[in-house]
Amino acid sequence: MEKTVKIKEVKSVTHDVKQFLVEKPNGYKFTPGHATEVSINMDKWKDEKRPFTFTSLNEDDYLEFTIKIYPDHDGVTEQLDELKPGDELIVRDTWGAIEYKGPGYIIAGGAGITPYIAMLREFKKKNKLDGIKLIYSNKADKDIILKEELDALLGNNATYVITDQNDTQFTKAYIDEDFLKKHIANFEERFYVCGPPKMTEEIGDILEKLGAHTDAITLDDQ
């Protein structure tokens, strides 16, 4: 299934992240954590499909994508950066990017937070945020996506880790074995890991070494 949808609004979230609000096709449904393949409805770009997670909720009358722009990558997000309201995207069938199995730790890096945005918004509506803790790593303070909303959702259960900025107001560290041992009391909890492939693999290996059950680790490379 392919549906052509118009962009309704484009908002800047950080210096290199934008939110795209687009029309929602009639009868189009998804679950928080699900994604679809998106392309730009222009001759050169319509077959260049990329997976993006919905950050809107199913009951919203629009679709929202929160997308990091990579000007030095393969050109798709760079092209997205040029789009304006009225331009068109193509969306397709939805599929499960993340399977939620209950409360635990979300460990995210950079744009790896985006698959969890809709899930956290949904849990807020259903009063089910208890027991969810976030450890969110970025290179610099300015890179943190939707920080104000994450603070409102999770309060003290959100920990921000900064790797490359010495004067950060947050925790200057890398999420390595020492960090995880210091910040996690119980490795029998569930763990959801999403970020760059190298990060998700390394953290998954460390968690396994520290006793986390492998079926409780969700690795999703964003």
pLDDT in tens, 150-180: 999 999 999 999 999 999 999 999 999 999 9
Is 10:83 a contact under the CB 8 Å cutoff?
Answer: yes
| CATH of the domain spanning 104-221 | 3.40.50.80
Report the pLDDT averaged over residues 102-126: 94
CATH superfamily label, 2-96: Translation factors (2.40.30.10)
Is 163:110 a contact under the CB 8 Å cutoff?
Answer: no
Please give the structure tokens belonging to residue 88.
């068109």
Q: Count CA atoms closer than 13 A to 216's CA, side-chain side.
A: 17
Distance CA 219, CA 207 (A): 12
Domain boundaries along the sequence of the chain: 2-96, 104-221
Please give the structure tokens belonging to residue 32.
């928080």
pLDDT in tens, 70-97: 887 668 999 999 999 999 999 999 998 6
Q: Is pLDDT above 80 for 220?
A: no
Q: Looking only at Cα atoms, what is the longest distance across the chain?
A: 53
CB atoms within 10 A of CB 73: 11
What percent of the chain is helix, strand and coil (3-state, nearest 5)?
Answer: 25, 35, 40
